[in-house]
Chain A
Amino acid sequence: MNAPRSTSPHASKSLFAKLRSWEAFLTFVLILVILVNSTLIPQYFTISNQINLFQLSIEKVIVALVMTFVIINAEIDLSVGSIMGLAACLFGWLFQNGVSAEMAIVIVMIAGGLAGALNGYFIAFVGLPSLVVTLATLIGFRGLARVLVEDRGITDFPDWFDALGQQGLVGPIPFSFFAFIVLFTIAFIILHRSAFGRLTYTIGNNREVAEFAGVNTAAVKMKIFVASGLVAAFAGLLYAARVGAVRGDVALGFELDIITLVLLGGVSIFGGSGTMVGTLLALLIVLNLRNGMALMNVTGHIQTGVIGVLLIVSVVLPRLDVTRIFKSRNPRGTRQ
C-alpha cells in the first residue's frame, strides 16, 4: 500500500521527493518538537532530563524494535505487554521463593522465549491469525502473572539488580540505554542487511511468493515471534529493575503504545514496508513530546490524546498524497 520503500527512483534525487519520504517527515517533526521544547522549557536540555525522558519509556522502546519485524511480516503481537508483565512477575515470584536473582533471570528469559514460541506455533504452523492468537495469550499470560503475584507487590531485589535499572552504568548513562543501542544496531543490521530481513519483507508483502521461492516461511515467522517473546521478557526484567518492585499489572496495556510507535514510524499495518530508522524517529518524537508536555504540566490524558492525533495524522497523511494516486502506472501493480 503506502510503501515508503518503493518510492520512485526517478524522483529520488529531487528535494521534493526527499521531503515526501516518511522518514524525512518524521525528522522534520522531531526537530520541531525539540525546538519548541528547548525554547519553552529551560530544564529540557539538561543531561538529567534527557536521560530521564529516555529511561522512563525504555521498555516499550526496546519491544518496538521487534514489533517492527512482526508488523513488517504482516502479523501483530498483542501479547508483548502481558509477556513483559509475566516476566517481571515470574522474576519476583522466583526471587521470593528463594531462587537467586541470576538464576531467575535465566529462567525468565527461557519462559519469554517459550511464550513467544507458543504464539509462533499457532500462527506459523497451525495457521491461525496472529490477531486472535496473541489476543488469547494477552489474556492468558496476564492471568498467569496475576496468579503468581496476586495483588501484593514484590520488592527488595538485590541492590545490583535495582542499580542496573536505576543508576548510571557509565557516568549518568544507565544500562538500559546501552542495551537499547546494542539491540537497535542488531535489529537494523538484521532487517536491512541480512537475508532474514529480506525474507521478513518478502513474506510481509506476499507469503505465497516466498513459499514458491522455496522459503520456509513458517520458520521465519516462528523466529520472529520467539524473538518477540525474548525481547519482551528482557524488557519486563528492565521494568522490574527500574521500578524496584513488581505487581500483577506491570506493563498493562503497553502493547498498544508499542504498536502505535511502530505505525507512527511508517510501518504499514498491512505488512511489507517500513524501516528501522522510521521506528527510531517515531520513538524519539513520542519520548520528546511526552517529556515536553510533562515538563509543561500537561496532564497524562491530554498527552495520550496528542499521541493519538499524531497516529491518525500518520495514517491519513500518506493517503492525502494526490500525486501518488495519479502516478504513472498503478504502483500496486494490480492492473496493467
Chain B
Amino acid sequence: MEQPVLELRDISKNFGMTRALAHMSISLFPGEVHAVVGENGAGKSTMIKIMTGIYPPSSGALQVDGTTVTISGPHMAREKGIVAIYQEPMVFPDLDVAENIFISSTREGLIQNPARLRHKARQLLARVGISLDVERIASGLTLAEQQAVEIARALSQDVRVLIMDEPTASLSAHEAAQLRRIATKLAEDGVSVVYISHRLEEVFDIAHRVTVIRDGEHISTRPVSEVTSDGMISEMVGREFESLFEKSPSVARPEVILEVKDLAVDEIFSGVSFDLHYGEVLCMAGLVGARRTDIGLALFGIHPAGSGTVSFKGKPLVITSAAQAMKAGIAYVSEDRRKFGLAMPMPIRENITLATLGEFLSRWGLVKRKKEVEVAETFKKRLNIRTPDIEMAVGMLSGGNQQKVMLAKWLNMKPDLLIFDEPTRGVDVGAKAEVHDLIREFVAAGGAAIVISSDLPEVLAMGDRILVMREGRQMGILTHEEATQENIMALATGQTSTREVA
C-alpha cells in the first residue's frame, strides 16, 4: 500500500494523573475517508488536538509522509496541510464570506484585492459544490453555510488531511448529505479525510475505513465492509448492545394538556396548530430553517407569538416571558448549551439550581447550600452524571454530561410540559439512550414532551406523533405508525403536502 500522509505511532497523552490517550496508533492514507468513532470522552478530541499541534504528545511519534516530525502548534500543522473543522464553525460574524475564507491566508499579501478574493472564494466554493454569495456577511449564515466557509478556508490552504469533528451534528438531514458529498469529493481529489461522527449511518455511507477508540485506546481499524452497526456500537461502549432505538409503547392519555391554534410569529412561522396529550411525546421534524426552534421559543415566552391562541391545562394562556411560562409549568431545554443552556465556568451545582433558585432560599433570602448540594447529588445519581465533584465547572464535562446537567436543571422545576430542543446533539450513543430514557420516564410520570430533533431515527424512536415543519409552515402531523424516514423527508422537503391531523 502507499505511504500514509499522517501516522500516529504509539502516542500517549497524560493530563496530570489522567491518561487521555494510551498507545494510540493510526495511519491516514491519501484519498480515504477514515471514520473515527467512540463515546464522548473516548479520546477523539485529544487525538485531534495532537494531530493539529494544539497538544504535544506525552510519548510516541507523529509522522508526516514517513518522516517523524514535531508539530509545535496549529500554525505548523496548517503548513503541513493538516486542518480540523468542528461542529461549531469558527466564522467572524462581521466579515463577509470571502474575507472569512481567506482570514488566515498569508499568501494574499499585505494589501488584499477584494475583487480577486471574491473571485477565488467563488472558485473554492464551486469546488465543493456550494453556491453561496461570497459578499454575504457571515452573521446571517446558517450553520451549514458556515461549515462550507470553513471547508473552503481549509481548501485555500492546500489541505492534505482534513479532520471533520462531528460536522453534521447540527445539520439537517439534507445539509448533512450535502456535506458528506463534499467529504467524498475531497477524498477523490486525494485529501485524507478524518471523519468523526456519532451518526453511525453516516459512517456506513461515506467511510472507507473505521477506527473505534474507547477510553483513550485503539480498539480496532477495519474496512467499512467488515463492520456492522451493532458490532461497532458494542466495541464503542465495551459491552453487548441490544437495539437502543426502538420505539417504546405510548403512554399518552386521552386528556389534552396543550392546545395550540394558528400560532404565528411575524415573518418567521405561521399556521401552527396541534394538541398534546398528557403522557405524549410530540416530535417536531424538519430541515434547518424549518423554524421549529422558534415555535419552542414562542411557547416558552422568549420570543412571544404574534397571533394565535394557546390553551394550557384547560385554560387560555398568553405567554409573554420565560418567567411566566415557567410559572405555568412549561420548561424549554435549549439546543445550544453554550449560548443559552449553561454558564460554563460555574459549578454543576449552581447550574442545576439556577432555574429554581427560589426554592433554595432561607427566610432571609440566602441560598441554602446544603439543600442545593443534596439536590445536585440526587440528580448526579439519577441521571448518571459522570463527574468526580458537583463543584466542578460544568464546562469541564463532556457534551453528554453537560446535556444531563441541563436536563437536571429543568427536571428540578417539575414542569408539566418539557420542550426538548435537539436533546441529543453532540452526545454519544450511551448518553443518548440515557436521555431517551429520561424523556420516557418524564412522560410516563404524567408530563408531556415536545421533542425538536433533526435526527430522524430519534424522531421515529421517540415520537408518538410527528409534526413536520418546512420553512415556517406546518406540513402535517404523522402518527408513529404512519411515519417513515421517507415520508417525513418528503414533507420536510416539500415534495408532498398532507394536512391531515391524527
Q: Return chain B residues, CB-CB under 8 Å to A189.
A: 366
B344 touching A333, Cβ below 8 Å: yes
A296 CB, min distance to chain B CBs, angstroms: 41
Q: Return chain B residues, CB-CB under 8 Å to A213.
A: 322, 354-355, 409
Is B308 part of the contact surface with A, judged by Cβ < 8 Å? Answer: no
B341 touching A328, Cβ below 8 Å: no
Query: Given A195-B357, A202-B354, A212-B332 in contact, is the A333-B392 Cβ separation under 8 Å?
Result: no
Q: Return chain B residues, CB-CB under 8 Å to A49.
A: none
A196 to B360, CA, bound (A): 12
Stretch among A3-11, A27-35, A146-154 lining the B interface:
A3-11
Is A335 part of the contact surface with B, judged by Cβ < 8 Å? Answer: yes
A3 to B426, CA, bound (A): 26
Query: Given A213-B409, A214-B323 in contact, is the A329-B396 Cβ separation under 8 Å?
Result: yes
Stretch among B12-20, B114-122, B454-462, B468-476 lining the A interface:
B12-20
A335 touching B45, Cβ below 8 Å: yes
Mostly helix, strand, loop or mixed at chain B's interface?
mixed
B344 touching A205, Cβ below 8 Å: yes
A8 to B391, CA, bound (A): 9
**Range of interface residues on A (Cβ < 8 Å):** 35 or more
B residues 309-363 near A (Cβ < 8 Å) are 321-323, 325-326, 332, 334, 338-347, 350, 354-355, 357-358, 360-361
A195 CB, min distance to chain B CBs, angstroms: 5
A residues 317-336 near B (Cβ < 8 Å) are 326-336
A272 touching B345, Cβ below 8 Å: yes
CB < 8 Å: which of B15, B395, B396 contacts A326? B15
B340 touching A208, Cβ below 8 Å: yes
Q: Return chain A residues, CB-CB under 8 Å to B366.
A: 189, 193-195
With a 10 A CB-CB cut-off, give which of A3, A213, A333 has the most chain B CB atoms.
A213
Q: Return chain B residues, CB-CB under 8 Å to A205.
A: 343-346
A198 touching B392, Cβ below 8 Å: no
CB < 8 Å: which of A193, A214, A272 contacts B367? A193
Closest to A272 in B: B345
Total A-B pairs, Cβ < 8 A: 129
**Range of interface residues on B (Cβ < 8 Å):** 35 or more
B15 touching A331, Cβ below 8 Å: no
Q: Return chain A residues, CB-CB under 8 Å to B396.
A: 8, 328-329, 331, 333
Is B389 part of the contact surface with A, judged by Cβ < 8 Å? Answer: yes
A216 to B366, CA, bound (A): 18
A273 to B340, CA, bound (A): 19
A130 to B475, CA, bound (A): 45
Closest to B40 in A: A336
A329 to B20, CA, bound (A): 10
Query: Given A3-B345, A202-B354 in contact, is the A208-B339 Cβ separation under 8 Å?
Result: yes
Is A53 part of the contact surface with B, judged by Cβ < 8 Å? Answer: no
Is B398 part of the contact surface with A, judged by Cβ < 8 Å? Answer: yes
Closest to A208 in B: B340
B16 touching A328, Cβ below 8 Å: yes
With a 10 A CB-CB cut-off, give which of B325, B345, B354, B366 has the most chain A CB atoms.
B345
A195 to B371, CA, bound (A): 14
B55 touching A332, Cβ below 8 Å: no
A127 CB, min distance to chain B CBs, angstroms: 16
Q: Return chain A residues, CB-CB under 8 Å to B300.
A: 212
Query: Given A195-B365, A195-B367, A336-B45 in contact, is the A5-B345 Cβ separation under 8 Å?
Result: yes
Q: Return chain B residues, CB-CB under 8 Å to A328.
A: 15-16, 18, 20, 396
A9 touching B388, Cβ below 8 Å: yes
Q: Return chain A residues, CB-CB under 8 Å to B321.
A: 214
Is B204 part of the contact surface with A, judged by Cβ < 8 Å? Answer: no
A326 touching B55, Cβ below 8 Å: yes
CB < 8 Å: which of B15, B367, B395 contacts A198? B367
Is A209 part of the contact surface with B, judged by Cβ < 8 Å? Answer: yes
A272 to B342, CA, bound (A): 13
B357 touching A336, Cβ below 8 Å: no
A194 touching B395, Cβ below 8 Å: no
CB < 8 Å: which of B18, B40, B322, B398 contacts A214? B322
Is A115 part of the contact surface with B, judged by Cβ < 8 Å? Answer: no
A148 CB, min distance to chain B CBs, angstroms: 38
**A195-B361, A216-B323 known; 14 other A-B pairs, CB under 8 Å?**
A194-B365, A195-B366, A205-B344, A209-B354, A210-B343, A211-B302, A213-B355, A329-B396, A331-B393, A332-B345, A332-B395, A333-B402, A334-B338, A336-B398
Could you list 15 examples of A-B contacts with CB < 8 Å? A9-B391, A194-B367, A195-B366, A198-B350, A202-B350, A206-B344, A208-B340, A209-B354, A214-B321, A215-B323, A215-B354, A328-B15, A331-B395, A332-B344, A334-B395
Q: Measuring CB to CB, which residues of chain B are less than 8 angstroms from any residue of chain A?
A: 15-16, 18, 20, 40, 45, 55, 86, 88, 300, 302, 321-323, 325-326, 332, 334, 338-347, 350, 354-355, 357-358, 360-361, 365-367, 388-389, 391-399, 402, 409, 426
